[in-house]
Chain A
Amino acid sequence: MSKKLIGEIETQNLNICYGKHCIIKNVNIKIPARQLTAIIGPSGCGKTTLLKSFNRLLEIRDDVKISGKILVDGNNILRSGLNVSDIRKKMGLLSQKPYPLPMSIYENVAYGIRIHNHIDSKKLENAVNNCLQEAGIWNEIRDRLHDPASGLSLGQQQRLCLARAIAVQPEVLLCDEPTSALDPISAQQIEKLLLKLKKEYTVVLVTHTLRQAKRVADYVIFLYFGEVIEHGPADKVFNNPKHPRTKAYMQGEIS
C-alpha cells in the first residue's frame, strides 16, 4: 500500500437519519490523507454527526440509520461483519469537552495501549511518555503521572485526551470542536498540536469558528443542513467560493 493512501476517507451517497429525521443527506466527499480538513457550517447542520459516522460511534444510539458507503483507505467500514473496535482504533477521537477516563493520568494513556498490545511495563511506560510528549503535556505533569486525570485543568485534560487518542496509533484524528470549551491559550496549544500532528495523521476538524478553519485548514467542507454545499482546498473555498450560500456564510450572513 502506498504511503499516500493511509488515512484517506471517502463517502459515497452517505445518508444518516435519526428516526425519521435525516441529518446527513447524500454526502459525497473525499477527505485527503495527511492533511487537516475542516468541516464548517452553521450549528445543527450535522457536522458532528458526519464526523462520528467515520468511526461508527453513532451506532451506540439505537435509533440511527446509516446508508451509503464510508471508505477508509478504500475499505467500506459500514460493511457488516467488521470488527468495530478495529475501525475505531484507526480513528482517534477528540471530543468537544475533554472527558478523561476515571483513572490516573498515566492510566488514561495506557488504557488504549493495554487493550491492543500485550507489552511489558517498561515498554508501556515509554509508549505512554512518548504520547504525553507528543501531546505537549509531558512537562506539566511529569511529576504527577499517577494523580487522577480529573484534577487537571480543562486545557490539560484536552491535551491528555489527545495523548490518549494517539496512543493507539490511529491513522485519522477526528476532532469535534476540540477548542470550543477551552480558554484562548489552551485553544491555541491544541491548534498548534493539530498542525504538527497532521504530518502523521489525517486530521478532520469540525469547527464552528470560521477564523479557526482559516488558520489551520488545508481542505474545507462546507455543510449546510446536512448537505455538502462546497468542498475543496482551503484557499479556493475561502478566497473564491463558488456557491452563493458559501459566500454568505463566509461573510457572516448565515451562521
Chain B
Amino acid sequence: MLIKNGSFDKKWLMDKRKIRDLICTKLMLIITIIVSILFFLIFLILLSKSSLILGSESITDLLFSSNWNPSNGNFGYFPVIVGTIIVTGLSLIIAIPISLLSAIFIAEYAPRKIRKILRPFLDVLAGVPSVVFGLCAFLFLVPLVRDFIAPFFGIESTGLCLFTASITLAVMVFPIIISLCVEAFSSIPLELKEASLSVGATKWETVKKVIFRATAPSIISAILLGFGRAFGETIAVNMVVGGIPKVPSSLFAPTETLPSLIASKYGELMSIPKSESALMFGALVLFIVVLIFNLLGLILLRNAKKRWKL
C-alpha cells in the first residue's frame, strides 16, 4: 500500500512538472505570436491610414515630386527622402571608419586597464537619450558650424543644416558600432591572431586581413544597427537639421528628414484627413525602407558567413 502510494505520489509529481512545462512552452509561444502580430498590425495600420492619399495621388507623385505644400494639398516627398538619405548616408560615412578604428584600438591595442574603463563607458554612451545629443549639438555644434565651419568654406549658414545633423547622428551612432565591434573583436580566439602573427605579419596586417574578415558578419550587424538608429532618429535631427523640406543645395543648407518631418508636422496636420494620411504614407515609406535594409543586411550576413564558413 505504502509503495503504491509512493509511486502514485511520484506519478502525480511528474504530471505537475509536465503541466508546468506545457504551460510555459505554450505561454512563450503565445507571447511570441503576439509580438510578431504587432509587426503586421503596425504595417496594416500604416497602410490603411495612407490609403486615402494613395487613392487620390499617384505613388510616383508622392515619392518623386518636389512640391511640398500641405495647405494646397501637395505632398511631394522627394526632397525629404533625399534629405533623409543624405543625412543618414553622410553620418554613416563619418561613423563607420572612425568606429571601426577606435573599436580595433580598444580591443587590440589598448592596455587592459583602459579597455576595462572604456567599455562600460561606451555602453552608457550608447544608451544616452537622443534628445541629450540633440541639445548638445544645438548648443555647441550649431554655433560652431554657423560661425566657423561654414564661413571657412565661404558659405553662409544658420548652422541648422545637413552637416550639423549628420555629425550629430554620427556621434550618436559611434557608441553602438564601437561597442558591438569591440565585442566581436574580443571574441576572436587568441590562436587565430597568433597564427597570423607567427608567420611574421604585423599587428595591423593581422587586423586588416584576419580580424576584419573573421568578424565581417558582426561588423555588418553592427553597421545595420547603427543605420537603423541614424535613419530613424527623430528628435536630435529635428533640433538641428533646419526643418525645410528642400533638396539641400550644399552641405550647410537646411533640409529635412522623414522622421523629423512626421514628428514636427503631425500636430499641425492631423486635423485634415488628407494631410494626416500623407504623413502616414511617410511613415509607411520609413517602415518599408528599414525593412528592406534589414533584409539586405541579412542576405549580406548570410553570404559573408557562407563564404568563410564562419
Residues of A within 8 A of B (CB): 52, 55, 57, 60, 62-63, 85-86, 88-89, 91-93, 95-97, 99-103, 111-112, 115-116, 148, 150-151, 161, 164-165, 167-168, 174
The reply to whether B198 and A165 contact each other, CB–CB distance below 8 Å, is: yes
Known: A99-B189, A99-B191, A102-B213. A88 touches B198 (CB 8 A): yes
In whole Å, how far is A84's beta carbon from the nearest beta carbon of chain B? Answer: 8
| A92 B191 Cβ-Cβ under 8 A | no
User: Could you jot down 10 A-B contacts, CB within 8 Å?
Assistant: A62-B111, A85-B202, A93-B194, A103-B213, A111-B199, A148-B307, A148-B308, A151-B309, A161-B195, A164-B195
Q: What is the minimal beta-carbon distance from A144 to any residue of chain B, in angstroms?
A: 13
Q: Complex: how many Å from CA A151 to CA B308?
A: 8
Which chain B residues (70-85) contact chain A, with CB distance < 8 Å?
Answer: none
The answer to whether A168 and B200 have CB atoms under 8 Å apart is yes
Q: Cβ of B214 and Cβ of A102 under 8 Å apart? A: yes
B200–A89 CB distance below 8 A: yes
B195: contacting residue among A52, A91, A99, A150, CB under 8 A: A99
Q: Is the CB of B209 within 8 A of A111?
A: yes
- Whether the pair B199, A165 counts as a contact (CB closer than 8 A) is yes
Cβ of B15 within 8 Å of any chain A Cβ, yes or no, is no
Residue in B111, B198, B307, B310 whose beta carbon sits within 8 Å of that of A92 in the complex: B198
Interchain CB contact under 8 A, B198 and A85: no
- On whether the beta carbons of B205 and A102 are closer than 8 Å, the reply is no
CB distance from A44 to the nearest CB of B (A): 18
Nearest-neighbor residue (CB-CB) of B192 within chain A: A99
Q: Which residues of B lie under 8 Å from residue A86 when comparing CB positions?
A: 200
Tell me, yes or no, whether B197 is within 8 Å of chain A by CB: yes
Asked if B112 is an interface residue, CB under 8 A from chain A, the answer is: yes
Given the interface pairs A63-B112, A103-B213, A148-B309, the reply to whether A93 lies near B198 with Cβ below 8 Å is yes
User: Hey, what's the 0/1 contact readout for B11-43 against A, CB within 8 Å counting as 1?
Assistant: 000000000000000000000000000000000
Contacts A101-B195, A164-B199 aside, 16 further interface pairs with beta carbons under 8 A come to: A57-B194, A60-B194, A89-B199, A92-B199, A95-B194, A99-B189, A99-B194, A99-B195, A100-B195, A102-B210, A102-B310, A116-B200, A148-B309, A164-B195, A167-B199, A168-B200
Interface string of B166-202 (1 = CB under 8 A from A): 0000000000000000000000011111111111111
B contact residues, total (Cβ < 8 Å): 25
Q: How far is the CB of B116 from chain A (nearest CB, A)?
A: 12
In the A-B complex, the 4 residue pairs with the smallest Cβ-Cβ separation, listed nearest first, are: A89-B200, A112-B199, A93-B198, A150-B309
CB contacts (< 8 Å) of B189 on chain A: these are 99
> Are A115 and B199 in contact, with the CB atoms below 8 A?
yes
Report whether A168 and B199 are in contact in the complex, using a CB–CB cutoff of 8 Å. Answer: yes
B112, B198, B200, B310: which contacts A62 (Cβ < 8 A)? Answer: B112
B93 CB to closest chain A CB (Å) equals 26
- The number of residue pairs between A and B whose CB atoms lie closer than 8 Å in the complex comes to 81
Q: Which residues on B sit within 8 Å (CB–CB) of A111? A: 196, 199, 201, 209
List chain A residues, Cβ under 8 A from B307: 148
Q: How far is the CA of A92 from the CA of B198 in the complex (A)?
A: 6
B201: chain A residues within 8 A (beta carbon) = 85, 111-112, 115
Give A93 to B199 CA distance when docked, in angstroms: 8
B residues in contact with A92, CB < 8 Å: 198-199
Residues of A close to B195: CB separation below 8 A: 93, 95, 99-101, 161, 164
Q: Decide: B198 and A91 in contact? CB cutoff 8 A.
A: yes
Q: Note all chain B residues with C-beta closer than 8 A to A168.
A: 199-200
Cα(A115)–Cα(B195), bound, Å: 14
Contact A88-B197, Cβ < 8 Å, known A101-B192, A102-B214, A102-B308: yes
B69 to chain A, nearest CB (A): 54
Asked if residues B193 and A60 are in contact (CB atoms below 8 Å), the reply is yes
In angstroms, Cα B198 to Cα A242, docked, is 36
With contacts A102-B214, A103-B308 taken as known, whether A55 is within 8 angstroms of B192 at the C-beta atoms is no
Instruction: Give the shortest distance, in Å, between B216 (CB) and chain A (any CB).
Output: 8
**A167–B308 alpha-carbon span in the complex (Å):** 22
Min C-beta distance of B133 to chain A, whole Å: 34
Q: Is the CB–CB distance between A101 and B205 below 8 Å? A: no
| Residues of chain A lying within 8 A (CB to CB) of residue B213 | 101-103
Q: How far is the CB of B258 from chain A (nearest CB, A)?
A: 38
For B310, what are the chain A residues with a Cβ–Cβ distance below 8 Å? 102, 150
CA gap between A13 and B210 in the complex, in Å: 36
Q: How far is the CB of B237 from chain A (nearest CB, A)?
A: 37
Taken together as a complex, chains A and B put the C-alpha atoms of A112 and B198 apart, in Å, by 9
- On whether the beta carbons of A60 and B112 are closer than 8 Å, the reply is no
Is the pair B308, A150 in contact by a Cβ cutoff of 8 Å?
yes
Alpha-carbon distance between A242 and B190 when the two chains are bound, in angstroms: 38
Q: In the complex, which residues of chain A have a beta carbon less than 8 angstroms from the beta carbon of B197?
A: 57, 60, 88
Contact A88 B200 (CB under 8 A): yes
Identify the closest chain A residue to B112 (Cβ).
Answer: A62
Q: Return the chain B residue nearest A147 by Cβ.
A: B309
> How far in angstroms is the closest Cβ of chain A from B304?
10
Min C-beta distance of B193 to chain A, whole Å? 7
Shortest distance between the CB of A222 and any CB in chain B (Å):
25
Name the CB-closest residue of A to B306.
Answer: A148
Q: How far is the CA of A86 from the CA of B111 in the complex (A)?
A: 24
Q: Are A115 and B205 in contact (CB under 8 A)?
A: yes
Bound CA span A102–B195, Å: 11
